Amino acid sequence: MEITRKNILSLQIDNESDVGVCRRKAVSLASQMGFDDVKTGEVAIMVTELVTNVIRHGGGKGKLVICQFCDAQEHQAIEVWCCDSGKGISNLQKVLKDGYTGKDSLGIGMGTIRRFSDEMEINPLLDHDFRDTFFSGNPLFKNCIRTIKYLPNKYWMGINKSLEIGAVSRCKPGEILNGDSYIVTHLGPGLSVAAVIDGLGHGSEANLASQLAREQIILKSELPVNALMQHVHNALQGTRGSTIGLLRLDTEARKLSFSGIGNIEGSLFTAEGKQNLLSYGGIMGHNMRTPRVFDFDFTPGDTVCMYSDGITSRWKFDEIDWTNNPQKIAENIMNQFSRANDDATVLIIRYTL
């Protein structure tokens, strides 16, 4: 299926009154599409800040195009294009930091727009037909921001009863926000996706990158592993970035697939012994290599373990009592082998009989 757009609204930006007009149009479309009140409110903030930036910092003239967007996997989203005639963004990393703002803006900064968007691009390539229809004849429009916010799917709400899960995650001692995170989400009674995520560094910016990656895995968990890794990489651009170890567990087919970028360690423990889960170097959102997916047999009694670099890699298989409950195993690893100078996360998943 090709990308499609409908309910397209093209709105000129000329003065302060256009801020309210654009916000109301965006909110109306989001509500019609089925966004809840919270997500619609986020769309309102995002559009308000985009249009305000055009008025205050983008030369005072611009255009906002809002539409209902459907991607090749039939995911619905609200898509916003905001173009202006200003000087552009000279320091993208600086303005995307949470809390950065110009003196006359709303005081929430481009970082908040980035956080409220599932995808955000600065000066992306325009589809020819889309460009010719909505942006031709406007040579003054020098800069453009594109944001996408996906309509959440209605997920299967059960669990995979064949999996027993244990997890522990804590921030670096002295920090308030955790730069690590983990996720286990179930697509059906025999199919699950799991990940351990480590935002680069620690503190608020690491937490932002980690949580954004987590949200995107939940949002697009039905994608093939390599496509999901690419999606998360694209979504993290403009953030500090993260490392990720991603699992797809199919207990009906008795298969496990793994892909990793960065320093997430992982192992699969079976009756035959230990198999390492191999990650490639890089940082999601910055310099990711083409994702490699490794497939393994996954049978009842097997246990998979993943952990961030806040856990030392020096512990040995025979130092752990693998007959324990996975939650107990995770807690023991955290207590015995975590580093005092970093965020730390351990995720244990066992395929039960």
Tell me if 155 is assigned to some domain.
Answer: no
Same domain, 180 and 118: no
Same domain, 233 and 135: no
Same domain, 137 and 231: no
The residue segments making up the domain with residue 132 are 4-150
Give the total number of structural domains in the chain.
Answer: 2
Q: Which of 150, 180, 201 is the last residue of a domain?
A: 150
Residues 191-205: pLDDT tens digits? 999 999 999 999 999
Residues 265-305: pLDDT tens digits? 999 999 888 999 999 999 999 999 889 999 999 999 999 99
Same domain, 125 and 232: no
Tell me if 204 is assigned to some domain.
Answer: yes
Same domain, 16 and 116: yes
Tell me if 107 is assigned to some domain.
Answer: yes
Joined tokens for residue 255: 């298969």
pLDDT band at 326 (very low <50, low <70, confident <90, very high): very high
Q: What is the CATH number of the domain that holds 263?
A: 3.60.40.10
Q: Which of 150, 175, 193 is the last residue of a domain?
A: 150
Tell me if 245 is assigned to some domain.
Answer: yes
Tell me if 156 is assigned to some domain.
Answer: no
Same domain, 247 and 327: yes
Q: What is the CATH number of the domain that holds 52?
A: 3.30.565.10
Tell me if 61 is assigned to some domain.
Answer: yes
Tell me if 42 is assigned to some domain.
Answer: yes
**pTM for the structure as a whole:** 0.70
Same domain, 204 and 295: yes
pLDDT band at 347 (very low <50, low <70, confident <90, very high): very high
Same domain, 208 and 343: yes
Same domain, 249 and 335: yes
pLDDT band at 108 (very low <50, low <70, confident <90, very high): very low
Say which residue, 328 or 353, is predicted with more confidence: 328
Tell me if 157 is assigned to some domain.
Answer: no
Residues 78-94: pLDDT tens digits? 999 988 877 655 544 55
Same domain, 310 and 183: yes
Same domain, 208 and 345: yes
pLDDT at residue 102, as a whole number: 47
Same domain, 36 and 98: yes
Q: Find the mean pLDDT for residues 93-117.
A: 54
Lowest average pLDDT, out of 164-168, 175-179, 215-219, 289-293, goes to 215-219
Q: Is the confidence at residue 41, as pLDDT, over 70? A: yes
78 within 8 A of 33, measured Cβ to Cβ: yes
